[in-house]
Structure formats: structure tokens, C-alpha cells
Amino acid sequence: MAKIIYTHTDEAPLLATYSFLPIVQAYAGKAGVAIETRDISLSGRILAQFGIVDDALAELGALAKTPEANIIKLPNVSASVPQLKAAVKELQEQGFAIPDYPESPSTEEEKEIRAKYDKVKGSAVNPVLREGNSDRRAPLSVKNYAKTHPHRMGAWSSDSKTNVATMGHDDFFSNERSVVLPADDTLTIKHVAADGTETVLKDGLKVLAGEVVDGTFMNVAALRGFLAEQIARAKADDVLFSVHLKATMMKVSDPIIFGHVVQAFFPALFEQYGEQLAAAGISPNDGLGGLLSAAEKLPEGAAIKAAVEAGLADGPKMAMVDSDRGITNLHVPSDVIIDASMPAMIRIGGHMWGPDGEEADTLAVIPDSSYAGVYQAVIDDCRAHGALDPATMGSVPNVGLMAQAAEEYGSHDKTFEVPAAGKVQVVNAAGDVLIEHDVQQGDVWRACQTKDAPIRDWVKLAVTRARATGSPAVFWLDEARAHDANLIAKVKQYLPEHDTDGLTIEIMAPAEATAYSLERIRKGEDTISVTGNVLRDYNTDLFPILELGTSAKMLSVVPLMNGGGLFETGAGGSAPKHVQQLVKENYLRWDSLGEFFALVPSLELYAEQAGTPAAKVLADTLDRATGTFLNEDKSPTRRLGGIDNRGSHFYLALYWAQELARQTDDADLAAAFKPLADTLAANEQQIVEELIAVQGSPADIGGYYRPDDVKADAVMRPSATLNEALASLA
């Protein structure tokens, strides 16, 4: 039986679901469209690991491989260790019998518990559900709205001292080795110590013919030297020091790198107190905030705090997450996520916020050089030509390679902190060494896999989008990078399978592709970026944030390789602050526009799957209603006293009901929705007043990671008039 699966996720998107989903279910029910929910939140995934609830993610992973799949996927927490610990603590306080997170597991039981928790870290959801490649673009209605209502862009100065600093050698980019498997095989990753002792790091790694397998490492000694240089450079240039990583998605590698940044910034602290901190199980990988909090319980706590303050005073000025509260760039590894933080910096004129609460030029430290050049290219362009103009600029839609966990590196069981000097080898079943690196203790080594079928599908999707739009499609691949060189060969192999006559299809290194796209953007021209998985993540924030002010307004479609559809609803990077504001003053600024967009193609797919014409009517009328929603500017306002997320849902419901009432394709639906449209219009003022009246006081939702359904429902549906009107549909 056909059905739409709506995911129950985390933070602000989850809270918005409590308000919006009842509207969707009421309207869909009238058209005979079945909608069900599945809990894939961080808390739900934790509980599933211990058998307390059903494993909804595993169920959806199996569904995603079938033609019946029709999944609407809201943003999840990409859990860092601090977030995971906080979720565990909350669940324990709610009465769930789950164990503590073992920081340094020693017993077999602790190792088993740690393995369960490791499965829910980072972007654990995405590789499971993404059985197709990504098609992300700004809907025409959003693009037109951005042109007529351009968001504010900070001015760029030609003498801006903002720049990117990256290693360029001894990093993941420069050390990469890549092979294409000639046949199905089973690989082993092992460490060979200097004395010849072999330790298996990963075995039973099944690969398919044509699969691209990579291995690389970051030399930590070189990293530490690089970081010391950049800290000194930031101080000498009198700019803010900032580091930009992705400690959530790359949940193994980037927290380790983040920890090295913390140690490099506070050398005196770790020279004097490093042993005491380590003995107490306090890791710099968890950030300065966790270190300071945990150190309070140590006898040396006051001295450690003083050493941190001295380090901040002696070093360059630090970029801040929240200058009012003293939250620095190094406080929490998940606070500064590169794909959100770099576009935000570029958008406000190359600035971040300093300790004095003022904007300032910034040195953006991105240790690995794989994609750092993309951001430097944008900075150089803005320094030369000024800020981009949202009223005239073109778009950079994206076709992203991500199916079957393509290029999922730095985040899983193939990433290791090297235990001792020696070699790391990737060996096939016959014992042949396919990849080998000489490594030192503490180096960060990682591997990734990219299967051939997703690459072939990616090329097909790129040609399809180029044909549909007439825009050039550029594969962002660097022949100087080992992995990309193998992908370039496959792209050249598979492009002739498609009709490319009259199309412009290019292959360029990422920095070159950025410059090419920016030249076209300034002419108002669109350019499709065809990228790998991580660069897909970066580009689908970078360009939308500059163009639209947010990446949450993108249409994100994943045509699944076996025929179904996954519809993603936008980014969740600003979700934590939104939840904090709701709890503090009962105001949710989260914008659900991405959800409105995702629901349209989901309903269209349902109409095909179920043979239900009414579902297509719902899709068409929702599309028109969303256009009205944008033109009437009914997204959440910026401050108390205006409509928030709940008010925006009311207006979408009003416009959707009106479109349904006046459409001529389904007389029964028109008749069913005419009374609702009239009721909502007649009670508009009353409903808005009821929604605004609750603002200004604290709201109790019963939990951050696992809200209480009754409490959250009451908070997110405070208008009795609206609730009664929706109930009348049933």
C-alpha cells in the first residue's frame, strides 16, 4: 500500500512538525493520501540500539531500496560526542534504562556499549536513506522572491584582511591514494608497527567491481606546526582566529583535529596541566567548554581556568559563537560547522564576531586543502568585485554524488587515530597491498568507498538536469587529487552513454569551478555544480546562503536508484538557537518553507504510486499556495509580537485551503475545502491573536532531545480556533 513516511527528527524541525504535520494529515486524509511517521531522532536511534524502541532507521533503510519508497526527511542532529552525552543524560533522567557513554572503554561490555553509541554519532541517518543521488535547487518561487525582496549582504572592502589558511601538504588531499577494484573482493585495513606487529583495524570490507576505494591520512606533526603558524599569523595580522571543521558529519577525524587546535591555541595550559586533564578523562576533542566544565571538579580547577584566560589574552583575538556569553570558536566542536559558518562569514562582508561583540576580519583555518580553495575563491572574488547582489545574481544548483554512502569519509569505522609509528595498509583477499602509507603515532588515517553504480547514476542525473535547464553542468573534480582522477576517468567513460548534443558539460578543479560559477553568477546566469558528497554538502549551503539568505529554502530531491523518492526539507544548522528561544520565550523562528517544497514532489510521487489523482491536486494547489505564502511574506518574523513558525503554518493552511476550494480538477475536494477556507479566512485575526498571545513566557516541552509529545503538542498548537477548524475536516 502506498504511503508517505514523515520522519520524526530533532530540535527545531521536530518542534515545527508538531504544528505542521496535523495540517498535512488533515488535508491529505481528505484526499485519501496515507501519511505515517517514523522516529529517526537522535534519541530514537539511541533507544533503538538498546532494544527499547523499534529501529525505524533500519526499516526506512530497507524501504529506500524499493520502488515504493516515499520519504519526507527532516534535518537531524549530526551528533557530536557532547551532544550524544547530553542526549544520553536526558534519556536517563526521563527514566530510560540506558548506560552511560563509555569515554575510554576497557571491558568487553564497555566496548560493546561504545560500539552501539558509535552507530548513532554524526550523520548516521544520511548514508542509510540516501539510496540515490542528490538534486538540490532553489524553486522558481523562492528565486523570484529573493530577487524582489533581497536579503541584506554585508559590504566587502578591497583591503579586507580576511583569508583562508590551509595546509596544502601532509594533509588528506596530498596524501590520498585511490584504486579502482577490478572485481568483487573483500578488503582488510591493517596497521603494521615498526617492529612488524600487525593489527587489523578493519576486516571483512566487501567491495564491488568498479568500486573506487581511497585511503589517506593527515600528518599530525605537520598539522600542529601549521596551526602554530596560523595562530601567530592571526595575531600579527590583527584578525580574528577561527577554525572551520565538520566535527558532526566527520565524527571521527574532525573532533581529533579540533582537539589539536585547542591544544595549539593553549600550549602553556597543556604543557602544565595536560597530564592531569588526561588522567581525569578530559579530552580537548570535546572543546574548551567541556574542558572548563569538567576541570571545575579537579583540585587544579582554578589554576586551569586561569591558564585558559591567560591563553586567550596572549593569543590572537578569537572568533566567537556568542560573545555575550563568552562562547568561543573553540568551545564546542559542533558549534562551528564549516558549511554554515563560512557562508555566513562571507555573507556579512568577510567578518566574524570578536570578543568585543563587534565584527572583524578573520583568518579562517581549514586544515585540509581538499576544498579550502573554494572558500578562498569566493573571498577573492568579493574582495575584488564587492558583495554579490541577491536581486540580480544567478544560481548554482547542485547534483551531488552520495548514493550508497559514496565518499562518506572521516565519519565511520574506516577512520582511525594511528596507534603507533609504522604503516597502514589496505590489502585485498589475495594478500596484495592496494594502498599503503607510512604513518606516525597520532596521525589521522581514513578510507572511503564510492561504488560504480552511483557514479553512473550521478553522471546520468547531471546530464538530465543540464538538458532540463539548459545551464552548463560542471563536474568539480581535480585531476591532481587521486580520488578525483579516478572519478574523471569514469565520468569520461559514462558521458557518451547520454545525448549531450547542445549541452555544455565541463570538468574543473573546485577552485577553478568556483571562479567560473561566480563569473556567471554576477551576470545573472545559472551553473549546475556536479560534485562529490562532501562538496555537495558545502555547496548546497554556500550558494543558497549568499543567494537566498538561507539554505532552508532549497528543494532537495533524491531520486532513489530503485525508483522511489526521498525528499529532504532543508538544513538544520540554526536549529539549536531556535529551540533555546522557544523554551525561553515561546517563540519559534524556524522556517518550514523547505518542508512545503518537499511535500509537493512527494505528493506527486504518491499520485503515481497509488493511482490517486487527488494527491496530484493536493500537490498543485500546495505549490500555488506556497507562491502566495512567499508573496504575502508570511515566513516567521524576527522578533516577538509577530507570527512565528506556528503562524506561518496557519497562513500556509489558509492559502492551501483557498486554492483547493477554487480548483476545478476535483469537485469533491473543492466542496470539502470551501467551508474550511471560509472559516480560516473569517477567523484569521482570532487565530493570529491566539498564536501570538502565548509569546513572551517560558515554554515547557518536556525535553530537548526527546520532548514530551503532550507538552510539545500543546506548545506548538496553541490556537483552539485553528485546531477546531482542522478537526472539522474529519
Does 21 show up as a binding residue in the annotation? no
Check the annotation: does 126 bind a ligand. yes
| Residue 75, annotated as binding a ligand | yes
Cα torsion angle, 39, 45, 47, 52, sign: positive
Taking the C-alpha atoms of residue 99 and residue 101, their distance in angstroms, rounded to an integer, is 6
631 annotated ligand-binding residue: no
Strand order in the sheet with 177-180: 177-180, 212-218, 444-450, 415-417
Which cell goes with 400?
A: 551531488
Residue 28 sits at φ, ψ, to 5 deg, of -65, -40
Q: Is 136 annotated as a binding residue?
A: yes
Residues 721 and 686 sit within 8 Å (Cβ to Cβ):
yes
For residues 131 and 367, the answer to whether their CB atoms sit within 8 Å is no
**Of 470, 479, 555, the residue nearest 512 (C-alpha):** 479
Q: Is 77 annotated as a binding residue?
A: yes
Question: In what helix (H) or strand (E) does residue 86 lie, and over which residues does it extend?
Answer: helix 81-93
728 is in an annotated binding site: no
DSSP state letter for 318: B
Residue 697 labelled as part of a binding site: no
537 carries a ligand binding annotation: yes
Annotated binding residue at 243?
no
Q: Are 278 and 103 in contact (CB under 8 A)?
A: no
Q: For residue 125, say whether it is annotated as part of any ligand binding site.
A: yes
Is 177 annotated for ligand binding?
no
- Whether 639 has a binding-site annotation, put simply, is no
CB 261 within 8 A of CB 234: no
Q: Say whether 522 sits in a helix, a strand or coil.
A: coil
Confirm or deny that 589 is annotated as ligand binding. Answer: yes
- Give 183: exposed, middle or buried? Use CB within 10 Å, 0-12, 13-18, 19+: exposed
Q: Name the grid cell of 522.
A: 554576477
Which residues touch 686 (CB under 8 Å, ≥6 apart)? 721
- The sheet carrying 422-427 orders its strands as 198-207, 185-193, 422-427, 433-439
CA 642 to chain centre: 29
The strand pair at 327-328 and 351-353 is best described as unpaired
Is 129 within any annotated ligand binding site? Answer: yes
Look up residue 420 and give its amino acid: A
Q: β-strand 177-180 against 212-218: which pairing, if any?
A: antiparallel
DSSP letter, residue 480: T
Three-state secondary-structure class, residue 137: strand
Instruction: Round to whole Å and give the CA distance between 334 and 255.
Output: 9
**Which among 342, 345, 367, 364 is positioned nearest to 163, based on CA atoms?**
364
Beta carbons of 2 and 70 less than 8 angstroms apart: yes
Q: What is the DSSP string of 494-533?
A: HGGGS--TT--EEEE-HHHHHHHHHHHHTTT---EEEE-H
Provide the pairing of β-strand 422-427 with 198-207.
unpaired
The response to whether 649 counts as a known ligand-binding position is no
- Between CA 562 and CA 404 the distance in angstroms is 12
User: Is 123 within any annotated ligand binding site?
Assistant: yes
Q: How far apart are CA 75 and CA 9, in angstroms?
A: 7
Instruction: Give the separation between CA 477 and CA 535, rounded to whole angstroms.
Output: 10
- The answer to whether 315 and 513 are in contact (CB under 8 A) is no
The CA distances from residue 525 to 200, 396, 397, 521, in Å, are 51, 9, 11, 5
Distance, in Å, from the CA atom of 713 to the CA atom of 136, rounded to the nearest integer, reads: 31
Q: How many CB atoms lie within 10 A of CB 710?
A: 9
Cα distances (Å, whole numbers) of residue 85 to 68, 118, 287, 583? 36, 12, 14, 21
74 annotated as ligand-binding: yes
- Contact between residue 572 and residue 12 where contact means Cβ atoms under 8 Å apart: yes
Residue 529 in marked binding region:
no
Please check if 541 is assigned to a binding site: yes
- Find the angle CA(472)-CA(476)-CA(482) to the nearest 5 degrees: 150
Kindly give the interhelix angle for 372-385 and 533-548, rounded to the nearest 10 degrees.
20
| Annotation: binding site | 73-78, 123-130, 136, 339, 536-537, 541, 573-574, 578, 589-591, 638
| Annotation: binding site for NADP(+) | 73-78, 126, 573-574, 578, 589-591, 638
| Annotation: binding site for D-threo-isocitrate | 136, 536
| Annotation: binding site for substrate | 123-130
| Annotation: binding site for Mg(2+) | 339, 537, 541
